[in-house]
Structure 1
Amino acid sequence: MKFVLNEIKRELSDEEIIQDIKRVSNQLGRDWISISEYRKTGKHSLNTIQNHFGTWKNALKKAGLRAERNKDEYKIIPDQMYFDDLLNVAKKTNKKTVTYEDYKKYGKYAVTYIFRRFGTWNTALTKAGLEGTGFSKDKITEQQCFDEIERIWILLGRQPTTTDFTKSKICKYSIDVFKRRFGSWRKALEAFVKYANNTDEIDQGDTPDAPELEEETKLSQHEKNKISSQNKHTTSRTINARLRFLVLQRDHFKCCACGASPAKDPSVELHVDHIIPWSKGGETVPENLQTLCSKCNLGKSDIL
């Protein structure tokens, strides 16, 4: 027997691969083709294409084709293809589940379409035979999301963006927490603004405000009784989250006394204070509320 080495294959050029992708595209009569469609009549393997262009999307772009499916094309994708791709990503990452971030990195499809198809990320995972991520939206409540958006909005002194989440560590939740619960970051902001601007129950206390030096403790019991009999309050002393945010926003997230702002100094803590103390007849209404930093609030006492 004579042993003969195979001839060394010459290196393929990018242009040869691009021309073959165009050929398959012309055969199908479409300006977008999937990798599975290309495999049926294409000359080159996915591994070869990835070695040249990194991803299938990049190869399509180089060939002058669309790199993304349109909505109608996503609609006709069978559920099983999504499941198979989730399982493929789980195998790549050697995990029993697939996180949102892992799928964005290794998955073939847009995660937004998986959400639309199955409602929740964990539903898609379960139907694919995988374990849930453990990041159920029910573990972090809607109110907690609103509280965190409010905290960051106050800290920045402006509407927070996705960049604030991805490029800094100011939020205790990832951006995906908000996307899973509300569908997108924009929808999370819209829900928060609607919540914050709902003044139907503006005088119902549901979130304790910063202390006003507990001015009532400085009065004798006789004085307290006298004030109580004289002042018939129509509002609760407690400033709820909605009213607190509206006052802070009105005052541009700055102390009305000294101008201190968390946007300039993260150590600054803002309080919402009764201008006329509640114990002396002041009501919990926007006109009687002001933004003060903790230092100015502590120095204000209960002097009118």
Structure 2
Amino acid sequence: MPFTDDIENLFVLSDYKRNTPDEDLIADVKKVAIQLEKNTVTIAEYELYGTFHPSTLQRRFGSWFKVMEVCNLDASRSCLNISEEKLFSNLEKVWTSLGRQPKYCEMRKPLSEYSVGTYEKRFGSFRSALKQFVEYVSSGIENKSKDNESNCKVKKLSKENKEVVRKTKRNISDRLRFQILMRDGFTCKTCGRSPVTELGVKLHVDHIIPWSKGGETIADNLETKCEQCNLGKGNAFDC
């Protein structure tokens, strides 16, 4: 019966594609590139014209950037224009604003400059982006903060006109700043305010002994303060 034939056609399993050989995945991407007459394929383009889902290729090869690489195609413009440092810097700002690890749905404007899709395209998944960000931050943890050590010693004259050799730069690197925030639990060490419990709290990382008064830019001399406490402190410190 025609009706029976329609039912049989309706309940047909699609092909299982998880075990598709790498060669077939690569060939399909190249086919789409030829079809588009381009030497690169974006995720959106492949999702529209490709046989497989883009996430299948991203899981297999690590990221869409790697997919382009194994297919001998040019990297998409989004991968070339946004550096990994900028993506990590943005992630650090979002994480700091929330006082915790950001969720998938929170990676959007105005909180995040880049969408979660941008991280998925670069790192294969948002989870992978978070993992690589944590590894990036953790790789620079050192009490003496080599990130801030100056190749050329900073020299400053004291009130007695004696030359004082400084071991570190005044500016706090993004990596060291985030390490201090993590260490202090994203909580102001003076008043206890935190973006985790109070929306809109802005945190700073500040020298305990001011750099201008001999304090170095090392973990032991840095602490987390909210914006109000930090601005109120000025250049004073407890002796």
What is the TM-score normalised by the length of structure 1?
Answer: 0.59
Is 2:94–2:111's contact at 8 Å kept on the other side of the alignment?
Answer: yes
1:265 aligns with 2:199: yes
For 2:153, the equivalent position in structure 1 comes to none
Distance in structure 2 (CA, Å) of the matches to 1:193 and 1:228: 44
SS of 2:205 mapped into structure 1? strand
Distance 2:81 2:161 in 1: 42
Select the residue among 113, 117, 122 that pairs with 1:172: 113
Query: Which has the bigger relative contact order, CA under 8 A and spacing at least 6?
Result: 2
The partner residue of 1:108 within 30, 51, 61 is 51
* Residue equivalent to 1:45: none
User: Could you give the per-residue CA deviations for residues 224-257 of structure 1, whole angstroms, max 9, x where no partner exists?
Assistant: 6237738543333221122110111112222222
**Structure 1 residues 224 and 189, CA gap change in structure 2 (3 angstroms):** same
Residue 77 of structure 2 is matched in structure 1 by 134
Matches within 5 A, 1:135-214: 135=78, 137-165=79-107, 169-197=110-138, 198-199=140-141, 202-205=145-148
* Aligned length in residues: 225
Q: In the TM superposition, what whole-angstrom CA distance separates every residue of 1:116-164 from its partner, at most 9, and x where no partner exists?
A: 398546569996xxx97532x1211111111011011101111123222
CA deviation after TM superposition for structure 1 residue 273, in Å = 0.7
- 1:274 is aligned to 2:207: yes
Cα–Cα, structure 1 residues 77 and 203, in superposed 2: closer, same or farther, change >3 Å? closer
**Matched residues, percent identical?**
32
What's the CA shift string for 1:48-90, capped at 9, x where partnerless?
xxxxxxxxxxx6xx54x4664122x2435264444445677x6
CA-CA distance at 1:283 after TM superposition: 2.1
Bigger CA radius of gyration:
1
Quick one: structure 1 residues 169 and 235, their matched pair in 2 at CA, closer, same or farther if it must change by over 3 Å?
A: closer
State the alpha-carbon separation in 2 of the partners of residues 228 and 278 from structure 1.
17
Name which of 77, 80, 88 aligns with 2:24: 77
In 1: Cα distance, 2:134 partner to 2:83 partner: 17
Q: 1:300 aligns with which of 220, 233, 239?
A: 233
Contact 2:99 2:186 in 1 (8 A): yes
* Bigger strand share: 2
1:235 aligned onto 2:178: no
DSSP 3-state at the match of 1:204: helix
Paired with 1:227 and 1:68, the residues of 2 have a C-alpha distance of: 79
Measure, in 1, the Cα distance between the counterparts of 2:231 and 2:127: 37
The question of whether the paired residues in 2 share the 8 Å contact of 1:227 and 1:279 is answered with no
Instruction: Give the 3 Å change call, closer, same or farther, for CA 298–175 of structure 1 in structure 2.
Output: same
Sort the Cα spacing of 1:229 and 1:178 in 2 relative to 1 into closer, same or farther, 3 A: farther
1:287 deviates by 2.1
> Considering only aligned residues, what root-mean-square deviation do their CA atoms show, in Å?
3.8
